[in-house]
A = this chain, B = another copy of it.
């Protein structure tokens, strides 16, 4: 499926619609109006109609959307229709923690290997997946056709490791290092900075 040109924020909302649809499906709901779906997703109805219009005519006037058809459409767009392999770089505290956290798999992502400059130093010997040296990254990524990486290395080496990932063919990076990565066009980075999230909340405390 060729990728549609959809704004980044709209893609986030597709995930919200997808989750709302999953809940409706679990409740044996077969069709849903745009008003009901937007409410379930916590998004404005006009926004939802605009976002879904990217995919052409999906709903039927007066009847709404077919839950199973719309689920399938979004799943294909989001690339979660089949298990997507992910590599994790940096098997320190946070990296090991994310490997042990099994919340990704039910969403369609499988961490297939961890890499570390010093695999011996990996925080946990019982991660249940191989911890490989950085030198093994290129062959692994090519062989397994991995496109997605989770980056949990220290900020001081994050840019250097990011360059390596891009050279290996990684197209998307979920970056936990508290630094802004420079990547070429065609590579996307999402940043998760847990300390910044806490700091932001802290501002609002009386």
Contacts and interface: CB of A to CB of B under 8 A. Distances in A.
B12 A200 contact: yes
Contacts of A79: 199, 202-203, 205
Query: Which bucket holds chain A's interface residue count?
Result: 35 or more
Given A101-B97, A196-B12, A201 B108 contact: no
Interface string A167-205: 000011110001010000000101011111111111111
A11 B108 CA distance: 33
Given A14-B203, A171-B206, 17 more contacts: A3-B203, A11-B200, A15-B196, A16-B196, A42-B180, A79-B199, A79-B205, A93-B100, A94-B101, A96-B97, A97-B98, A103-B194, A148-B198, A148-B202, A171-B204, A172-B201, A172-B202
Q: Nearest 6 pairs between A and B by C-beta?
A: A97-B97, A172-B201, A107-B195, A79-B202, A15-B196, A147-B205
